[in-house]
Amino acid sequence: MTEKTIEKATPLIGLLILGIFFLLTLSVIRTSVFGEVEGEKHIYFEIVFLLLLAVAGELLVTYTKQPSVMILMILGLFMSPSFLVLSWSFLHSLNLPFALPPDPPEILRLENILSVFAQLGAVILLFKVGMHNKIERIFAFDNLIVAIAGIVLPFAVGYIYASYAGGSFAYSMFVAAALTATSVGVTVAILKEFKLLNERFAEIIIGAAVLDDILGLLVLSFVINITGASGQESIVASVLLTLMTAFVFLFGSVIAGDYFVRYLDRKEMSPKRFMLILAFVLFYAYFAEFIKLSAIVGAFMAGIILNKSKHHSEIEEKTYGLEMLFMPIFFISLGTLMDVNALAKFFMPILVLSVLAILTKLIGCGFAGLAAKLKPLEAAIVGFGMAPRGEVALIVASIGLSTKILDSSEYSIIATMALLTTLVTPPILQILIKKIQVK
């Protein structure tokens, strides 16, 4: 073979190899989606898929001009097992000219891996929000009033509605507890996207949500004890212990954190110091989760503490990559938890409960916002901003299910309400925020 012939054949060989590689890629994707792949290997496919889904979400945000939170949650909904099963059944009913695999695709098989990534996303998000806040703003009187209003009214209305609808005492108490919850992650992401985190109404939402978590924890402790038929002394002791533990953590973490910041600021930022910062944030998240507060509260407190560091801007810059990696997965995961079948089966109870969930926060926190001398539009943003129940109410429902206080139907109603309130809030907030920006 002459040199000239080899030169002519080289591009053809390259195209042939590229074609074979393309077919091999299709085979790998098909096997990963429909075939049997070991869990340790499939994890790489799932991570790649989630990252590509996040990229697709950002493209849709650019073209649709909708909040990225909402887009990512909708994409997650399309990837949920219940939606895939339903859509696959519909495709089979069309009698398409080509054969479809009998079973729907299993893209996100390792739920525990997705859950870990999602939790890290929530932790990083609230840590970054904490970096823009000061401790004295969190425990302001206005925040406390909004938080209390966001607990009392939803609890009372939730219990009355569930009892009136024929629910048992235990179910009614868990519905009431779920309605007191606030998942601030979605709201904070939207405020961050519109660069409004420094506005007073945003500070009230964030501060009230943190206090809401503490008060909600006390409510949950009370509900678990009273529905578990514990004695009066046990209930009081449990609530007091929870309150004391939360108090010690919140104020103890600030005092201990000041020493950490002093050590951190002795020298310039280095890889070793940055790893210490990550360990500090994750330890606070673990600490809060361990005492049954919430990992996001711990991360938020770590952010507030590191706000005082002279390395503030460097920490912001170095954690940006983590934010871009984990945050989209958090919002996608919220969508994947949605049960489309439950939405169809218990449509009316879910719809009524979701409307009550939004209205009770809107009225309670909104009026409290007016009392804090916010403008009506800002008070409405506070009300809607406290409305998403998200993962916090899901935790309440899952505890009820795991302790056998709730059955699967009751769990589905509460869980779907939690996710529905989280899904419908972003577009409403976007409309209200745009009105404020126009003014």
Average pLDDT over residues 58-76: 75
Domain 117-438 has CATH 3.90.660.10: no
* Annotated domain spans of the chain: 117-438
CA distance 248 to 225: 22
pLDDT at residue 231, as a whole number = 47
Determine the pLDDT at residue 281.
Answer: 92
Q: Model-level pTM? A: 0.70
Q: Looking at residues 356-373, what average pLDDT do you find?
A: 90
Q: Using an 8 Å Cβ cutoff, are 246 and 291 in contact? A: yes
370 versus 38: which is more confidently predicted? Answer: 370
Tokens of 179: 């309605």
Over residues 47-56, mean pLDDT: 83
Closest listed residue to residue 114, CA positions, set 328, 292, 389, 319: 328
What digits encode the pLDDT tens for the residues 382-402?
998 888 887 667 767 777 776
The predicted pLDDT at position 282 comes to 92
The H helix count followed by the E strand count for the chain is 20, 0
With a cut of 60, say whether residue 413 has pLDDT above it.
yes
pLDDT, tens digit, for every residue of 368-386? 988 888 888 889 999 988 8
Q: What are phi and psi of 231, to 5 degrees?
A: -75, 165
pLDDT for residue 312:
84
Q: Are 123 and 296 spatial neighbours (Cβ–Cβ below 8 Å)? A: yes
Distances (CA, A) of 343 to 16, 75, 106, 346, 413: 50, 17, 21, 6, 8
